[in-house]
Structure 1
Amino acid sequence: MPDSFCKRFEIAWHNPTAEKLVSLLTEDVVLYQPHRPPLRGRAAVRVEFSRLLAWLPGTYSKVMRWLEDSQEAFIEHELHFPAGSGFIRIPAVDRFILEDGLAKERVVYFDRFLLFAGVLRHPSLWPGYVRYRFGGSGV
């Protein structure tokens, strides 16, 4: 299914920008994630993805497998966050509720401590992490 939500997700995360990622979402989307409060609406999501990608340019995700129908999608993927000369790799599963081919709700499941441990091993990431995690809407 070339126009499937999951295929568009895979393409957007291959070389992500905030705009590519937000284009997958409804205006009233709600994103749930273990390390942050829920994000509500495309504008808030755009800010969050912009902050993440500004802190860790070169971030991408590799899709392993997916399952979808017209109402929901499950995507297993591995996030890659640049760190030193390599990457912090974090397995994740996203569950989406779909509406007209766009995500209305997303819940992501991953071990947030893998990200935290990866950041701890790379002191050069510490200032950016503090700004990203605790600094509000700026980077």
Structure 2
Amino acid sequence: MTDWAEIHESVVRQFRVAWEEPEPHAWDGFLDDSVRFVQPLVRDGVGPALWWEEFARIQALLPDLRVEVLRWAGAGENVFVHIRFSATAGGRPLTWEAVDLLKLSPEGRLLFRESFFDPVLPATALLRRPRTWLRWWRSGVGPFTSRRRFLPPVSVS
């Protein structure tokens, strides 16, 4: 029988640690090869390589981005994690909250992540800070992802 409570605690601990020193591969310890992502402001898709590239873009825009786990709850294969993002943009603090739905395998691998937050909040803050515009454009993060074909590829080793 699967001990979901133990799996939940382990995954949330890994999730929290990965956000303490975030880099594209910080989540590799619990990402399944077929993990699917649904997330505002970055591409949805499948596989760790997608996460590595999208996180590298996020980090290019907000290099000091961190996440604080505020609370979480789990039931069976599902874990809901209430988080607070914080970063500096245009020399000023930027914060917003989200809830991530994580679907897990019985082995504690992440099969699916959907992040729920209103993308208008961080996007509006960035629009009001002209010092961020060039970095934002170059990162490829945001509503105009079609422009990526004009951007150099993100290298993630």
- After superposition, the CA RMSD in angstroms is 2.0
Q: Deviations over 1:12-35 (max 9, x none)?
A: 112211110343311111100133
Partner-residue secondary structure (3-state), 2:63 = coil
* TM-score normalised to structure 2 length: 0.79
Matched letter for residue 130 of structure 1: W
Q: Structure 1 residue runs of 4+, over 3 Å off?
A: none
**1:78 has 2:84 as partner:** yes
- Residue 3 of structure 1 deviates from its aligned partner by 5.6
Aligned match of 2:3: none
State whether structure 2 residue 39 is matched by structure 1 residue 23.
no
CA distance in 2, matches of 1:23, 1:86: 33
- The structure that is strand-richer by fraction is 1
In the TM superposition, residue 107 of structure 1 has moved relative to its aligned partner by 0.6
- Letter of the structure 1 residue corresponding to residue 31 of structure 2: L
Structure whose alpha-carbon radius of gyration is higher? 2
Structure 1: 5+ residue runs without aligned partners?
A: none
Share of identical aligned residues, percent?
27
Gap runs ≥5 in structure 2: 1-5
Indicate the residue corresponding to 1:113 in structure 2. 120
Give the Cα–Cα distance (whole angstroms) in 2 for the partners of residues 13 and 37 of structure 1: 20
Tell me how far apart the structure 2 counterparts of residues 119 and 50 of structure 1 sit (CA, whole Å). 18
Task: Report the count of equivalent residues.
Answer: 139
Equivalence map 1:40-119=2 (5 Å): 40-69=46-75, 71-99=77-105, 100-119=107-126
TM-score (norm 1): 0.88
CA contact (8 A) 2:56 2:154 kept: no
